Amino acid sequence: MGKAGSLTGRGFDEIAVGDRAERVHTITVNDLIFYSHAADDLNPLHLPELDGDGDGRPEAIAPLSYLTGLVSGLIGSDLPGPGARELNWTTEIGAPVCIGDALRVGLEVTSKSEGRLTLAALMEGPSGVALSGQVVVAAPERPRRFEPYELPDLLVRRHPHFERLLAACDGIDPARTTVVWPHSADSLAGALAAGRRGLITPVLVGQRKAIEAAAAEAGETLSGVEIVEAADPRSAALEACRRVRQGSADSVMKGHVHTDTLLRAVLDRADGLRGERRLSHVFVMDVPGEPHLLFVTDAAVNIAPDLAAKADIVQNAIDLARALGITLPKAAILSAVETVNPALPSTLDAAALSKMSERGQIKGGLVDGPLAMDNAVDLEAARIKGLKGEVAGRAEILVAPNLEAGNMLAKELTFVARAESAGVVVGARAPVILTSRADSEMARLMSCAVAALHAQWLKTGAPAPGLADPAP
């Protein structure tokens, strides 16, 4: 909630000709998005990401009604202030103003009579006068004071962090990805959509007739897509992993197959992708309003990990965060409290993991815990609890004590906080893309994007070009 301060409106007799009020306002992307929603105005000239006149670039021009709204705000807050009622407007529009432009909005009383004020309005932008006009206002008969009140917050549901990852994928080759048993319309369509976007080059492993039937159901074409015949899901999973192991593919993607079947193939000693560490799952989440990505782990593979498993889980998440351009990831080991309590085993593990990081047993990031969820992600909550250090209040990686907690946290962020998520299994020789039937199209695309960027990092040891560490 945003708190509006107390306001006092002047009565008619207190206002003199020549009185002035002024403020400066910079037009933001969210300003025009909120305006478009409120006014039901879908003119592409006013929308920040659309090209309205075909010249190849967005105009993002602030409409007249938005500009007059800024004048109304100055009338209602300053001159004459609360209780004022607008009666008549005459306006003349000047030079266009766009997102990023700073506007100087001014009012001056030019006449007063019988409870009415005539105000000259002038709005100036970078190119000169943007709006001029005259407003007749009924002023309050006597001063009125309004106490502070809570103004509801507004949140634009955007996913700029995912947009940044997608843009980075444009600078790398598509990851050649074996898709295991894509026998359903949703699993096949997701892989083909990622292929069209240039994130992956799908290689479909399964029964050709079933894949063709799924394509027909989804309204997709398989022209130019390689299909590898496999008799059953286990054979398909092993063949998919074998191709990655042999270097003819970069990642594996789950189709219409049980996760257990796929992961057993990944861990197969002969043909699988078993690495030095335990496999773990990471949700990469773009939460509206958060200044950076959040990584939630483990929410899908390790049910009740012990300390050794948690060390691998933390290291896997740190490596993935580095692959996505975060130079020094900050990992919070979550529990119910931020103090070590022998009655809560998760706090003991958290303290041990923190010390392991200090001693170099976990590398490439900062690790702190135990931390509760609030003081892991909110600086004010961390300050109130007296927590210091670089992780408290700034965590990017959220390490859950067990699968149940991690899964609930990830789904709460998705279905309550309206986050978009990508899901990958890490710790193997190559990323494994896990998708769910409940995933949105964005979630499927982003899972492929994250896997492609991780595969690039595994090959080169560096993030993709364009993934410089974002400003804190």
pLDDT at 466: 82
Q: How confident is the model at residue 141 (pLDDT cuts 50, 70, 90)?
A: confident
pLDDT at 5: 59
Domain covering 160-460: architecture: 3-Layer(aba) Sandwich (3.40)
Evaluate if residue 84 carries a pLDDT over 80.
Answer: yes
pLDDT at 46: 82
Where exactly are the structural domains of the chain?
A: 2-151, 160-460
Evaluate if residue 398 carries a pLDDT over 70.
Answer: yes
- What are the pLDDT digits (tens) for 429-447? 999 999 877 777 888 899 9
54, amino acid identity: G
Please compute, for residue 250, the number of CA atoms within 13 A of its CA located in the half-sphere on the CB side. Answer: 23
pLDDT at 2: 46
Q: How confident is the model at residue 4 (pLDDT cuts 50, 70, 90)?
A: low
Q: How confident is the model at residue 1 (pLDDT cuts 50, 70, 90)?
A: very low
Residue for token pair 């990852």: 165
pTM of the model: 0.80
**How large is the average pLDDT for residues 306-333?**
97
**How large is the average pLDDT for residues 352-375?**
97
**How large is the average pLDDT for residues 332-347?**
96
Q: Look at 11 and 346; give whichever has higher pLDDT.
A: 346
Lowest mean pLDDT among 194-208, 322-336, 431-445: 431-445
If one counts every other C-beta atom within 10 angstroms of the C-beta of residue 411, the result is 16
pLDDT at 55: 72
- Decide if 369 contacts 390 (C-beta within 8 A): no
**How large is the average pLDDT for residues 95-106?**
93
If one counts every other C-beta atom within 10 angstroms of the C-beta of residue 358, the result is 12
pLDDT at 472: 43
* Separation CA 262–CA 135 (nearest Å): 69
- What are the pLDDT digits (tens) for 216-253? 999 999 999 999 999 999 999 999 999 999 999 999 99
- What are the pLDDT digits (tens) for 107-139? 999 999 988 999 999 999 999 999 999 999 999
- Decide if 455 contacts 251 (C-beta within 8 A): yes
Question: What is the overall mean pLDDT for the chain?
Answer: 91
Evaluate if residue 54 carries a pLDDT over 60.
Answer: yes
- Proportion of the chain above pLDDT 90, given as a percent: 75
**How large is the average pLDDT for residues 457-468?**
88
pLDDT at 6: 66
Strand order in the sheet with 397-399: 226-229, 200-206, 175-180, 251-254, 432-433, 420-426, 280-286, 294-297, 397-399, 330-334, 366-371
pLDDT at 49: 73
For helices 307-323 and 441-460, what crossing angle results, to 10°? 90
pLDDT at 142: 82
Q: How confident is the model at residue 370 (pLDDT cuts 50, 70, 90)?
A: very high
pLDDT at 155: 72
Query: Hey, what long-range contacts does 114-120 have (CB within 8 A, 24 or more apart)?
Result: 115/12, 115/139, 115/141, 116/87, 117/12, 117/15, 117/80, 119/75, 119/79
Q: How confident is the model at residue 140 (pLDDT cuts 50, 70, 90)?
A: confident
Domain covering 2-151: architecture: Roll (3.10)
The 3-class SS string of the chain reads CEEECCEEECCHHHCCCCCEEEEEEECCHHHHHHHHHHHCCCCHHHCCCCCCCCCCCCCCECCHHHHHHHHHHHHHHCCCCCCCEEEEEEEEECCCCECCCEEEEEEEEEEEECCEEEEEEEEEECCEEEEEEEEEEECCCCCEEECCEEECCCCCCCCHHHHHHHHHHCCCCCEEEEEECCCCHHHHHHHHHHHHCCCEEEEEEECHHHHHHHHHHHCCCCCCCEEEECCCHHHHHHHHHHHHHCCCCCEEEECCCCHHHHHHHHCCCCCCCCCCCCCEEEEEEECCCCCCCEEEECCCCCCCCCHHHHHHHHHHHHHHHHHCCCCCCEEEEECCCCCCCCCCHHHHHHHHHHHHHHCCCCCCCEEEEEECHHHHHCHHHHHHCCCCCCCCCCCCEEECCCHHHHHHHHHHHHHCCCCEEEEEEECCCCCEECCCCCCCHHHHHHHHHHHHHHHHHHHHCCCCCCCCCCCC
Evaluate if residue 149 carries a pLDDT over 90.
Answer: no
- What are the pLDDT digits (tens) for 10-52? 888 899 999 999 999 999 888 888 888 888 888 888 887 776 6
**How large is the average pLDDT for residues 271-289?**
93
Does this chain's domain 2-151 share its CATH topology with 160-460? no
pLDDT at 410: 95
Chain centroid to CA 154: 16
Buried b (16+ CB within 10 A) or exposed e, 124-136: bbeeeebbebebe
* Separation CA 454–CA 464 (nearest Å): 9
* Separation CA 173–CA 289 (nearest Å): 31
* Separation CA 345–CA 326 (nearest Å): 30
Q: Which pair of tokens denotes residue 49?
A: 């990401």
**How large is the average pLDDT for residues 178-199?**
94
